[in-house]
Amino acid sequence: MTTPPAAPLRVALANGSFEQPAVTDVEILPDASQTQAAKRVPGWLTTASDRRIELWHSGFNGVPAADGAQFAELNANEVSTLYQDLPTTPGTKLYWRLYHRGRQGDDTMALDIGAPGSAVEQRRFTDGNTAWGYYTGTYTVPAGQTLTRFAFRSISAAGGNRSVGNFLDGIFFGTAPYVVLAKTAIPAGPLEVGDVVTYRITAKNEGGGGAENLIVSDVIPQDTTYLPGSLRIVDGPNAGAKSDAQGDDQAYYDAQADKVVFHLGNGASAVEGGSLPNTETLPAGTTVEYRAVIDRSGAGKQISNTATASYENRLGDTPEPLTSTSNEQVTQVKPAADLTVAKAADATTVTVGQTVTYRITVHNTGPNDATGVTATDQLPDGLTFLSADGPGSYAPATGQWTVGDLPEGATATLVLRAKATKAGLIGNTATATGNEKDPDTTNNTDTVSVCVEPAPSCCDPCAGQE
């Protein structure tokens, strides 16, 4: 596949199939220059002295339109040239296509392209009145030509009547399609492990012709997991279509390749993409989205990726495959640290007056370093603080052990001693927290129970309290 160069100035005819304004059977109307007229033919100009263009509705006098519901007759009230003048970029390759048909027999017209006042005949077309002839071609804008005239000139018409002959329809003259992709992440970040990020992709056709068989794909960013059922066409053709867990006719999740795929544009289906009009017709283009969950492995990283589009330029004799790539979307993820707590007592049965020794261990399983780590271990009623040994500091009044920073994989242990002052089953809990998001809070707390017996022992004060 080839990637198109930077988009040239878009060139595209207005009202190429003569669908505006709508007519019932046949009408001869002012051309686009007659701005005072309430009803006129947009886009097209004529060299006819009366400045009028003849439009037919499909089926009138048994003549069907070749494209859409209407077409034009080149010979209106007199022999003339029908044309549009378009801004162009020198060196740009322009494509043209058209339908031509005779009215009473064989009619002949010429296609002229070039600078206004000096357009050059490109080709002549002769067709009878039983079928539409279809023609295509290309034109490269010469150096210095910033305004190009695209014109149809009547040569002859069967029967010799100057106001009869040369039907025209389905006309295109302009640049190839050029799809531009823009990708955003919502919210913009920074985010945390477990957060859901919505990726939104907008495709706009800044070219002239339709972008055919448009398919947008996006590999799920590394360190994230696709959220099933989140595929959605937000705006443009087929807007509102939402997938189930795997997809629908226009979009699906490819589990093997770990990517989402959208078939976009008019007529898109499960088999192929549709046609995306240019931004003259569809200014906002089409927008799609999907969601992903940030994995634990993404903590402290930048998550980035780009979307791609494949489409075809079908303006020439054979389809030309093209691709586009979006901007790189980068999302910063805050660090995360999974703190685990383990608490044990040197002896689980002591006597009133004896020392109870606890060992509280805080371990950082990552994936990042932990900062501002604090373990809270408030001694309960029946225990009186004696001493504490370990890194950081322990405040008996609040039960807070200020551990400080704890690198990934590191462990800190506090030895806490207390005097047993009351008989009974005494439970004691330690809980650890840090500044970073903890991806698993189920292991942040541990409790140990110690049975304190009277001295001398006369009974089991802890019986039935287990």
Among 132, 241, 262, which Cα is nearest to 199's? 262
The reply to whether omega before 177 is within 30° of 0 (cis) is no
| Residue labelled with tokens 């190839």 | 176
CATH of domain 26-174: 2.60.120.260
pLDDT in tens, 215-233: 999 999 999 999 999 999 9
**Are residues 31 and 80 in contact, defined by beta-carbon separation less than 8 angstroms?**
no
User: pTM, whole model, 2 decimals?
Assistant: 0.81
How big is the CA angle at 101 (ends 97 and 103), to the nearest 5 degrees?
Answer: 155
pLDDT tens digits along 395-434: 999 999 999 999 999 999 999 999 999 999 999 999 999 9
Q: How far apart (Å, rounded) are the C-alpha atoms in residues 256 and 432? A: 40
Res 466 pLDDT > 70: no
- Show the tokens assigned to 78: 């007199």
Q: Which CATH architecture has domain 179-332?
A: Sandwich (2.60)
Under the banding of pLDDT at 50, 70 and 90, the label for residue 245 is: very low
pLDDT for position 77? 86
CB distance 340 to 404 below 8 Å: no
Distance CA 199, CA 305 (A): 10
Averaged pLDDT, 366-371: 96
For residues 97 and 316, which has the higher predicted lDDT (pLDDT)? 97
For residue 151, the model assigns a pLDDT of 96
Per-residue pLDDT tens over the stretch 280-293: 889 999 999 999 99
Which pLDDT does position 6 carry in this prediction? 59
CATH level 3 topology of 337-453: Immunoglobulin-like (2.60.40)
Average pLDDT over residues 163-177: 93
Residue 238's pLDDT is 80
162 band by pLDDT with thresholds 50, 70 and 90: confident
189 or 80: whose pLDDT is higher? 80
CA pair distance 154, 173, nearest whole angstrom? 19
Torsion of CA 255, 257, 262, 263, to 10 degrees: -110
85 pLDDT tier (thresholds 50, 70, 90): very high
Which pLDDT belongs to residue 246? Answer: 45
pLDDT, one tens digit per residue, over 59-73 is: 999 999 999 999 999
Q: Give the residue-averaged pLDDT of 131-158.
A: 95
Question: What local confidence, expressed as pLDDT, does residue 173 receive?
Answer: 94
Inform me whether the pLDDT recorded for 79 exceeds 90. no
**CA-based angle 14:40:36, to the nearest 5?**
120
Looking at residue 1, what is its pLDDT?
47
Q: Where are the domains of the chain?
A: 26-174, 179-332, 337-453
Confidence band of 317 (pLDDT split at 50, 70, 90): confident
Segment 154-165 mean pLDDT: 86
**pLDDT over 70, % of the chain:** 94
List the structure tokens of 298: 């993404």
What is the pLDDT, as a whole number, of residue 7? 64
Tell me the C-alpha distance between 165 and 4, whole Å. Answer: 40
Q: Is the separation of the CB atoms in 370 and 405 below 8 Å?
A: yes
Half-sphere exposure of 15 (CA within 13 A, CB side): 21
Q: What is the mean pLDDT of the chain?
A: 92
- At 296, give phi and psi (nearest 5°): -60, -35
Mean pLDDT, residues 77-93: 92
26-174 and 337-453, same CATH topology: no
Assigned token pair, 316: 């020439």
pLDDT for the residue numbered 255: 94
Question: pLDDT category, 316, cuts 50, 70, 90?
Answer: confident
